[in-house]
A and B are shown apart, each in its own frame.
Chain A
Amino acid sequence: MKGYGSFMSPVAEHEPSTFNRLSTPAPHNGRWTGFRYLLGARLKEMVREREVIFWVFVFPMLLALGLGLAFRNKPADITSIAIVSSPYAQNALSLIQNSSQKNVIHPEIVDLAKALQGFRLGKYDVVVEPQSPGNVQYYYDPARPESVRSRAEVDDALQSAAGRKDVIASSSVTSSEPGSRYIDFLIPGLLGMNLMNSGMWGIGFALVDMRQRKLLKRFVATPMRRSDFLMALASSRLIMMVIEVVLLLGFGIFTFHMRVLGSLWSILLIGAIGAIAFGGLGLLTASRARKIESVSGLINIVMMPMWIFSGVFFSYSRFPAVVQPFIKALPLTALNDALRATILEGSSLFSQSGRVLVLALWGGLSFILALRWFRWS
């Protein structure tokens, strides 16, 4: 367009008087100013959202506390048994009460019908019917491990109390060391699940929410660099990740005396790769959706198989062998396995490179596809 050279910005010239304001010189922004403010804004928004604090930081700890207490290692399992009332019942009862197992066996004398009903409902592990002074009959269920064990225990108590002599003298050493308990298995799994949840929701949901509010469109209407925006989102996830990892591991250490064998740096590095992988997956999930309702559904569909198969609450080795390769290819499985190996066994980062590769592939592919499909408005 001709005559443009002489078209000096009239606004800039009159600037100080435009809103008759202070003559503060306008700041000049550098390359990373936009990124810094985007990251700051994202962190402020998250911290000010109470629900986010609860779901990201408090909820996993409550889950760990609840499950840790429910499945804590009990001092010894009490065996509940029913003795069928008969003239010989009292004799059997006193034999048990005099046996060395008297503390772990809880006997009750009831009639046969009641005993069998209680057995069916799981109230009694085994039913003992004394038929004569030297003869008892057991009702037990060979498919119930505690029933099998109780039968052996009661039989042992009766036999030894009645005067059986053991031919081999035996003694035992018991072990319930930190590291092999359920809570030790659980906490790295919860950590992995939490990184998945907060990555998918923290990126996927947040993006669609911004798209629906036309905030994304408003941002791209400024000279903002789109890459700065995405980097700020990713960085906010990494910062949150560090807090999530430290809080949950700290909780495990202080509440359950969990022992962390791997170095914090390896754990954080695996956490970071996991957070980025799920951030990429969140970005991909959110790349087209215009409504938060539709992205919520998508996020749940993506996460569902991983909740079930990736060994958060129980080991995935229980699933049939045919599906194992599929399970191991899931990003959450790779993350959980790598976290468990590092936290519980102190494995080196290098030994986890296969799992790290699985995570990196998921994250990288999602990111590339997401950028291709991403809708800013």
Chain B
Amino acid sequence: MPVVICCRDLRKTYDGKVEAVRGLNLEISAGECFGLLGPNGAGKTTTIEILEGLLPPTSGEVTILGQSWKSNAREIREQIGISLQETRLSEKLTVRETIQLFASFYRCPRPVAEVLEGLQLTEKADAQVGELSGGQRQRLAVATALVGSPRVLFLDEPTTGLDPQSRRQLWEIIRNFQKHGGTVLLTTHYMDEAERLCDRLAIVDHGQIIAEGSPPELIAKLGGHHVVEFALSGNSHGDNTLWQSLPGVDSVRNDDGMVSLSVCEPHRTIPALLAKVEERSAQLEHLTTRQASLEDVFVRLTGRHLREE
């Protein structure tokens, strides 16, 4: 598969001080949906805006569809679609007028009716943007990105602040675009979004990629595929090493009294855990077991939760 988005040793320093991106490498192939996952302030938006040609990098190289922003900006623009984080489109224009306006910028845009239909906006075509709900506005934002018939779609936090139904509608649209050969790069701080939508992910923290791979690969790297969480009454859980020694435990984490064990075989670990609790004559207040998620990967890698500020 040809590489569609490529960057090498990307760096961005604001005002000579703040290092937002610190040496980032990416290689995204045609037809892939690639996600940049990370907490707020990790450098995701800076990275995607450099790739979109909206911010100059301090150093590093960017190639989009085999072309560079320096020499072929207009050609690249004709072939990519962009949805920025929080663009407020003109409130007084209707949905149709907005899409027509964006269509007029491209040499060969898609028919407006087709885009309206594809984004489930036909009913709202003659409503002014000011009257739309959050989900409809976000679909309109994506519509303006798709109207140019792009080969690559850049989406910066496409579903932030949306209700679950609107999010699913957008996922559907993104998958549809990808199903027909489009390449997608998106940023998100939602794990479920990354897990469902992305073929490959890069977890970004402090301007660097700290892990990269498909969601199952990343989870597999944790060592355990399951997480056992428990809490003991009266903070009597003692030292982490106590639990590390249980059979099948890969790692232990203590989050304010909630102990998480990363395990491969919960059926071996749980009986041993219960025995240990009994032995210490402690009271079990909470016990759950679940599949490991990207959140666990992130916590493991950074020691923080994804949504923490």
Contacts and interface: CB of A to CB of B under 8 A. Distances in A.
Nearest to B86: A214
Name the prevailing secondary structure of the B interface residues.
loop
A218 B129 CA distance: 16
Contacts of A49: 92
B19 interface: no
Nearest to A218: B87
Contact of B117 (A15, A21, A36): A21
Interface in B73-105: 74, 77-79, 82, 84, 86-90, 92-93, 97, 100-105
B176 A15 contact: no
A7 to B, nearest CB: 5
A11 B54 contact: no
B105 to A, nearest CB: 4
A177 interface: no
A174 B180 CA distance: 86
Interface residues on B, range: 35 or more
A9 interface: yes
A40 B94 CA distance: 12
A215 interface: yes
Contact of A9 (B88, B110, B151): B151
Contacts of B176: 18-19
Interface in A210-239: 213-215, 217-224
A4 interface: yes
B303 interface: no
Contacts of B114: 19, 21-22, 24
B63 interface: yes
Given A11-B182, A18-B180, A27 B63 contact: no
A230 B94 CA distance: 22
Most chain B beta-carbon contacts within 10 A, residue among A1, A14, A36, A221: A221
Nearest to B52: A221
Contact of A10 (B52, B55, B181): B181
A217 B54 contact: yes
Contact of A11 (B66, B90, B100, B180): B180
Interface in B10-37: 30-31
A44 B97 contact: yes
A213 B65 CA distance: 29
A13 B114 CA distance: 16
Contacts of B106: 29, 222-223
B2 A7 contact: yes
B93 A217 contact: no
Interface in B189-223: none
Contact of B149 (A26, A33, A377): A26
Nearest to A229: B105
B77 A221 contact: yes
B118 interface: yes
A37 B117 contact: no
A12 interface: yes
A27 B93 contact: no
A28 interface: yes
B107 interface: yes
Interface in A192-217: 213-215, 217
B111 A224 contact: no
B3 interface: yes
Given A13-B181, A45-B93, A1 B3 contact: yes
Nearest to B154: A221
B252 to A, nearest CB: 44
B27 to A, nearest CB: 11
A21 B54 CA distance: 32
A236 to B, nearest CB: 13
B104 A37 contact: yes
B108 interface: yes
A38 B102 CA distance: 9
A17 B90 CA distance: 30
Contacts of A224: 105
Which 9 residue pairs of A and B lie closest in terms of their CB atoms, listed nearest first? A10-B181, A19-B118, A1-B66, A37-B104, A213-B88, A21-B114, A223-B77, A14-B180, A224-B105
Interface of A: 1, 3-4, 7, 9-15, 17-19, 21-22, 24, 26-29, 33-34, 36-38, 40-41, 44-45, 48-49, 213-215, 217-224, 377
Given A34-B104, A223-B148, 9 more contacts: A9-B181, A15-B149, A24-B114, A29-B105, A37-B100, A45-B93, A222-B82, A223-B77, A223-B78
Interface of B: 2-3, 6, 30-31, 52-55, 63, 65-66, 74, 77-79, 82, 84, 86-90, 92-93, 97, 100-111, 113-115, 117-118, 128, 144, 148-151, 176-177, 180-182
21 contacts: A1-B2, A4-B2, A9-B79, A10-B151, A10-B181, A10-B182, A14-B181, A15-B180, A29-B104, A29-B105, A33-B104, A34-B104, A34-B105, A41-B90, A215-B90, A218-B84, A221-B53, A221-B77, A223-B77, A223-B78, A224-B105
